[in-house]
Amino acid sequence: MENENNFIQNQSNELERMIQGTDIPKIQIETESIEDSPEDALWLDFQSGDDVEGIKSAGIETYVISPITERDLFSDKYLNCTGMVGIGRDKVSGKEIAFISHQDSEYFLHKGSEETEKFSSDLKLTVCELLTRSVEGTVEVVLFGGNDEPADQESKKSKDYKKSIEMLTEIVQRSTGLKPTVLLEANHEGGAVDVTVLTQKRKVSVQK
């Protein structure tokens, strides 16, 4: 009986690690060092804000959203910024495709209504494109990063973190019906983190 219960629990755990109704694993997070860091990863440079290779941006240190690609993705120096990763399985190639974003909540929450709308529009376009190009039921969107003050949930930093997660979730839900999950909570330890998306493995590697 114990062996049978263990088998059932293992099967249940395995199902929880899969996207419902598919054999596709959910996006996993890795915090260990990557032995073979991908050399051809597309670098999303938040500091430059360059609109190159299909990257959407409003300029230096505002936001950057990568194009959807089969390549691995990389963005560094997430400090107070939040990030979003979406991964699906391409209808044509059968391979995984993904995007990553890197955004400063100060820009899309407080800069002004035009800035908020521009960011929202660019993010919607990317998420909708991923959904359109992907096999039904294979798309997953996750959030990570940001910063708050655990000892003071009424501080501006804490309130901005909550608002940013709520706004990002709302943008995705309203445009696609998908509900993003928080893959990694706010950064309480200080110091920036670097993020690599291992697209074909459906993994997100976070390095301090």
Question: Over the stretch 135-154, which tens digit does the pLDDT of each residue have?
Answer: 999 999 999 988 877 778 88
Q: Is the pLDDT of residue 15 over 60?
A: no
| SS3 per-residue string spanning 172-203 | HHHHHCCCCEECCCCCCCCCCEEEEEEHHHCE
pTM of the predicted protein model: 0.86
User: Of the given ranges (32-36, 141-145, 204-208), which has the lowest mean pLDDT?
Assistant: 32-36
What order do you get walking across the sheet with 63-65 strand by strand? Answer: 56-57, 63-65, 96-103, 82-89, 140-145, 181-182
Q: Which pLDDT score is estimated for 16?
A: 54
% helix, strand, coil for the chain, step of 5: 30, 25, 40
Q: Between the CA of residue 75 and those of 49, 89, 207, what are the distances in Å? A: 12, 22, 11
Q: Which pLDDT score is estimated for 9?
A: 44
**Percent share of the chain, pLDDT over 70:** 83
Confidence bin at 54 (pLDDT 50/70/90) = confident
User: Across all residues in the chain, what is the average pLDDT?
Assistant: 85
Average pLDDT over residues 180-189: 83
Q: Per residue in 65-86, pLDDT tens?
A: 999 999 999 999 898 899 999 9
Confidence bin at 56 (pLDDT 50/70/90) = very high
Q: Is the pLDDT of residue 169 over 80?
A: yes
Residue 108: burial class (beta carbons within 10 Å; 0-12, 13-18, 19+):
buried
For tokens 């529009």, what's the residue?
A: 121
Average pLDDT over residues 150-174: 89
CA neighbor of 63 nearest in space, from 82, 90, 38, 35: 82
Q: Is the pLDDT of residue 33 over 90?
A: no
